Amino acid sequence: MVVKLEKDENVSGNPELASQGFGRISRTSPPEFDPAFDKDEACCHFNEFGFVVLKGCLSERELAHLNEFFNRTQLERPEAWGLGKKRTSYQEASGLIFSQPLLDYPELDSYTRHPSSFHLVAQLMGGSEYVRFSEFNFRDMPEGAGHGAMNFHHDAVVADRFKRQPYMPCDWLCAIHYLTDVEPGNPAFCVVPGSNRYQTLEEAYEDLSDAYWEVPIYGDAGTCVLYDTALYHTRLDGDGNRSRRTWHQYYARGGWLTSSLPDVENYVRPPTPVLTNWNLFPERLVFHPDPEIRLFFSHWNTAQCEWVASGFSQALRDAMPRGNK
């Protein structure tokens, strides 16, 4: 099946200047950090710019396993990837996406708290006891998909981020792992450093002035990008012909944190809301024998609550959005 992206209109930036954003693309790559030896430096970079690039986060064995998983499941379950006759709107924008592979594949469980990056995630979110699982998906941009010109956007945000002190820990964090090499010409993740403190991309463009850059992130397979979901980002499509495979994992912040707002005494930050209303966690992880794992998978939405109450009914799962995707 030939997969083609539907092209977006540039509504987040200036369409007279560029097909995405404002077209101020950096030719300088951001620094890469070794997650084993540069932990403090990596966290400082994230705190200042809203993202950090980590090198060598997946072994050759893990990369081989995950790419084999892509190949195998695209043959076994093409509809789950969007390879069937009916492609949804989110698939039209993202190429191929397998939204909930964890549900049926225990072989992926060990990746959810991957040792190369999870210790950094934990530090950025205030400690491992505050990190909650939100979402885990795979994305595949096939060769020849064309130019979708996805808009710069942010993911989930909380309004108090503009006033609370301190800003960190962030509310949600995403880890994108490259499963194939990403070079100029490939589709690449692209960020606007420091834009997580702005309501709109235009505000960031005007206020950051000469510090405003749209920074594509290139790297070898195994590279991991951690970013604050409030950061403006997109996918640059490259030449429209080359492919890219990625694993995306989202984390939420749990717990109650003492904080401050200018006009509120004794302000306490509550746990962040759920990321989606459709994402499900499998029974083996929800009721895992390790209490630390159970806490990690405790950030439930209403769909999860109903599924648990039903005894993890297959019929109920089948009726849910993306229940089998």
> Could you give the C-alpha distances from 248 to 205, 235, 288, 305, in angstroms and in order?
27, 13, 23, 24
**Who's near 57: CB < 8 A, 6+ residues apart?**
35, 114, 116, 117, 177, 222, 223, 224
d(CA 297, CA 8): 35
Of 202, 194, 234, 214, give the one whose Cα is nearest residue 13. Answer: 202
pTM of the model: 0.95
Q: Is 320 within the bounds of a domain? A: no
- The whole-number pLDDT of residue 246 equals 98
Q: Is 114 within the bounds of a domain? A: yes
Rounded average pLDDT over 46-74: 98
- The whole-number pLDDT of residue 88 equals 64
SS3 state at 151: coil
Contact yes or no for 52/215 (Cβ under 8 A): no
Q: Which residue do the tokens 């995403």 mark? A: 174
- Counted domains in the chain: 1
First to last CA, the chain: 18
- The whole-number pLDDT of residue 86 equals 66
Is residue 1 very low, low, confident or very high in pLDDT (cuts 50, 70, 90)? Answer: low
Q: Which residues of 99-126 are buried (b: 16+ CB within 10 A; e: fewer)?
A: bbbbbeeeebeebbbbebbbebbbbbbb
- The whole-number pLDDT of residue 102 equals 97
- State how far Cα 2 lies from the chain centre: 25
Q: Is 103 within the bounds of a domain? A: yes
Q: Is 58 within the bounds of a domain? A: yes
Q: Which two tokens stand for residue 219?
A: 């790297």
> Residue 146: left (phi > 0), alpha (psi -120 to 50), or beta?
left
Q: What is the pLDDT of residues 101-114, one digit of tens each?
A: 999 999 999 999 99
* Lowest-pLDDT range of 254-263, 294-303, 305-314: 254-263
Q: Is 289 within the bounds of a domain? A: no
Is residue 2 very low, low, confident or very high in pLDDT (cuts 50, 70, 90)? Answer: confident
CATH code, 133 = 2.60.120.620
Q: Is 23 within the bounds of a domain? A: no
C-alpha triplet 112, 114, 119: angle, nearest 5°: 115
Q: Which two tokens stand for residue 106?
A: 């225990």
Q: Is 19 within the bounds of a domain? A: no
Q: Which two tokens stand for residue 254?
A: 């749990």
Residue 97 belongs to what domain range? 32-275
For residue 30, whether the previous peptide bond is cis, meaning omega lies within 30 degrees of 0, is no
- The whole-number pLDDT of residue 112 equals 98
Contact yes or no for 41/181 (Cβ under 8 A): no
Q: Is 203 within the bounds of a domain? A: yes
